[in-house]
Amino acid sequence: MRITRRHLAAAGALALAALPAIAPITARAESADEAAVAKAVDDLTKAMIAADRAQLEALTAEALSYGHSGGKVETKKEFIDVIAGKKTTYKSITLTDPVVSVAGNNAIARHTFAAEVEAGGQASSPKIGVMQVWVKDGGNWKLLARQAFRTS
């Protein structure tokens, strides 16, 4: 069979038509930094459940601004003291719908946060949306800011 320009044009048109079906798969390949941020988010979650002061210190930036869905904002010291001092105890934390995007040495992580918590003798089960801002510091990703919000 002889290949003509018409065959090449048809093959090209077919390839272009298939591109939208393939592009999301290749475009969504996770970068090394996105994977590292996702791991840092997971490590922070585990440190919160374990009330691990050293890990919480290592995973948060000095200028941390930690915003709760009710409007309260904590510094790094306040955030760590509340968890490591067991004023708030996380019995479980489940993160769903994770999305991480990296821009240079900064990253944004979004997810839905569901937890079993005890604070001040009161048990609760919050389910909230969360946006975190991470910064690469000395090769490690550290939480710089977090804001939670109520979802509908």
Q: Which residue range is the domain that position 119 belongs to?
A: 32-150
pLDDT of residue 46: 98
Give yes or no for a contact between 16 and 70, defined as CB atoms under 8 angstroms apart.
no
Q: Is there a domain that residue 61 lies in?
A: yes
Q: Is there a domain that residue 12 lies in?
A: no
Q: Is there a domain that residue 11 lies in?
A: no
Q: Is there a domain that residue 9 lies in?
A: no
Give yes or no for a contact between 100 and 130, defined as CB atoms under 8 angstroms apart.
no
Q: Is there a domain that residue 93 lies in?
A: yes
Q: What is the residue-level pLDDT of the chain in tens, covering all 152 positions? A: 565 655 545 555 545 555 455 444 445 567 999 999 999 999 999 999 999 999 999 999 999 999 999 999 999 999 999 999 999 999 999 999 999 999 999 999 999 999 999 999 999 999 999 999 999 999 999 999 999 999 87
pLDDT of residue 30: 79
Q: What is the pTM of this model?
A: 0.80
Number of domains comprising the chain: 1
Give yes or no for a contact between 132 and 95, defined as CB atoms under 8 angstroms apart.
no
CATH of the domain at 88: 3.10.450.50
Q: Is there a domain that residue 13 lies in?
A: no
pLDDT of residue 118: 97
